[in-house]
Chains A and B, each alone.
Chain A
Amino acid sequence: MLDDFMTRAALAGIGVAVAAAPLGCFVVWRRMAYFGEATAHAAILGVALSLALDISIFGGALVVALSMAWLATQLSGRGYAMDTMLGVLAHSSLAVGLVVVSFLSGVRIDLMAYLFGDILAVSRLDIAIIWGGALLVVALVAWRWSPLLITTLNEELAYASGLNPNREKLILTVSLGVTVAVAIKVVGVLLIAPMLVIPAAAARSLARTPEAMVIIAGMIGAISAVAGLKAAYVFDTPAGPSIVCVASIFFVSLSVIAAFRKRSA
């Protein structure tokens, strides 16, 4: 079954959707969309360094994504507004990454594959890494679910309940790093943030509980991955962007339906 490249691609896409669903919901609830984007963009630097040092791209991207997330957290509240600082970090690291790649003259690099993903080329090993990462993210978030929700609602409330919000935020940072690292192969660094935000935002109008929102976001992400792949095959379009397009269609349709229901209610 895994011999078919479309099957492997679908499994990889669904794996990313599984990792992105719980994390994407927290990104939306905590208004961290730009934080996610900065972390994802930084990963191209990780890719460049991995190629230069001839180490695993997954490992390099993970380390750089985590460093970027840590750096952004440390710098927050020191002078510049968070969005300004993330704008600087995200695009500088993207630019530095692209410059570093240009120095690697010895290797022939398909840069587009890292920017927009190369889902049709995933190997069995890639699938194992993606699903391993996805299950790790799901396990981490499930383990700290209530503390994460309380921290999201109010940090002082978390302290008063005997929790340490910084530890809970670290869980999200690590999950974000892992998700970015596993998603590079599938949608590329430029399209990771939309894979986090769009399914979660689309799921909002259908959900009455936080858990339902995560599950619905996961389903929307998975359907988008499969349908996007199918569309890419039929219309001969790039796979990563096609997946994001399907997710966007979900978001727009569900938002319009929710707006009409509100008006008639």
Chain B
Amino acid sequence: MKLVSVENLSVSYGANTVLRAIDLEIESGEIVTVVGPNGSGKTSLLKAIIGATQPANGSVNLKPGLKIGYVPQRLNFDPTLPITVERFMRLTGNVERKSCMLALETAGVLQLLKCQMSELSGGQFQRVLLAGALINGPEILLLDEATQGLDQPGSAAFYRQIEAVRRETGCAVLMISHDLHVVMSAADRVICLNGHVCCAGTPEAVASAPEYKELFGAGTGGALALYRHDHDHVHDHTDNCNLNSSEAAE
């Protein structure tokens, strides 16, 4: 069943067009990963899907009544805000204690129930955010670079958890990731984004696509290639000044 269908989507911030003519569909139960350099419009795509950004053109159609679980890149979490994990979990809806504990258990952090959010480590924090996204039994999980700030073993463990969640609950997953290892292992489908969809398909197909190699360099093994890419790609295209300025704004 189609959960999300994006047609001919363009997103602009003032004169900057960050996304052009994006088509994307997500079926229930699949894991789709979006990769792309900084400023390629990954976050804007996610924002357009949840309705935080209005499309300049095209449309975003969600299945009526679609239940979304959103895991933000980070919270603007100020340590002056005293709040326990349990309270945070129950903010987003009138949920019972039982479903709160169940979501924390699914995310592997039930023991943190009574902790203050400000006292959590980076990995614990991301798992609590994941639990918060799971609490209303979502049909699709949206993850915006959810492992930012985690080390390699930490993010690997986090993504194993995501796969486990998909197995247990059958929800679809759309995630944005910098981490190319993750793309290759966890996703059913990969979308390579750079203002437009460069290439898309199974991880194997994308990894061997020339557009992908151009974007991420020939050695597609790791994150290093991604960062090296950032410099040469910007100079390749004249229309990339837009991407530059949106990058600076991030």
Contact = CB atoms under 8 A, between A and B. Distances in A.
Interface of A: 28-31, 146, 149-150, 152-157, 159-161, 200-201, 204, 207-210, 212-213
Contacts of B81: 29, 152-153, 210, 213
Contact of B76 (A154, A160, A207, A209): A154
Interface residues of B, number: 28
Contact of B68 (A29, A30, A153, A160): A160
A204 B83 CA distance: 11
A201 B80 CA distance: 8
Nearest to B43: A156
B220 interface: no
Given A150-B92, A157-B92, A204 B82 contact: yes
Question: Which among A156, A200, A201, A212 has the greatest number of chain B C-beta atoms within 10 A?
Answer: A156
A160 to B, nearest CB: 3
B82 A161 contact: no
Nearest to A155: B52
B144 A204 contact: no
Nearest to B72: A154
B80 A28 contact: yes
Contacts of A153: 75-77, 81, 88, 91
B76 A159 contact: no
Interface string B103-146: 00000000000001000000000000000100000000010100
Nearest to B69: A160
Given A30-B78, A153-B81, A160-B142, 6 more contacts: A29-B80, A157-B72, A157-B132, A159-B70, A161-B93, A209-B84
Instruction: Please name the 9 residue pairs, one residue from A and one from B, whose CB atoms are nearest each other, closest first.
Output: A160-B70, A159-B52, A29-B81, A207-B82, A160-B50, A154-B72, A159-B50, A161-B92, A154-B75
28 contacts: A28-B78, A29-B80, A29-B81, A30-B78, A146-B91, A149-B83, A150-B91, A152-B76, A153-B75, A154-B72, A156-B46, A156-B50, A156-B144, A157-B70, A157-B72, A157-B75, A157-B92, A159-B50, A160-B68, A161-B92, A200-B80, A204-B80, A204-B82, A208-B84, A209-B83, A209-B87, A210-B82, A213-B82
B47 interface: yes
A159 B91 CA distance: 14
Question: Which among B51, B68, B83 has the greatest number of chain A C-beta atoms within 10 A?
Answer: B83
Interface string B59-76: 000000000111010111
Contacts of A212: 82
B231 to A, nearest CB: 27
A155 B74 CA distance: 11
A146 B142 CA distance: 22
A111 B74 CA distance: 46
A99 B88 CA distance: 48
B93 A29 contact: no
B198 to A, nearest CB: 25
Nearest to A150: B91
Contacts of A213: 81-82
B131 to A, nearest CB: 13
Contacts of B52: 155-156, 159
Nearest to B93: A161
A26 B76 CA distance: 13
Nearest to B92: A161
A185 B127 CA distance: 48
A94 to B, nearest CB: 27
A250 B88 CA distance: 29
A149 B82 CA distance: 11
Nearest to B90: A146
Contacts of A152: 76, 81
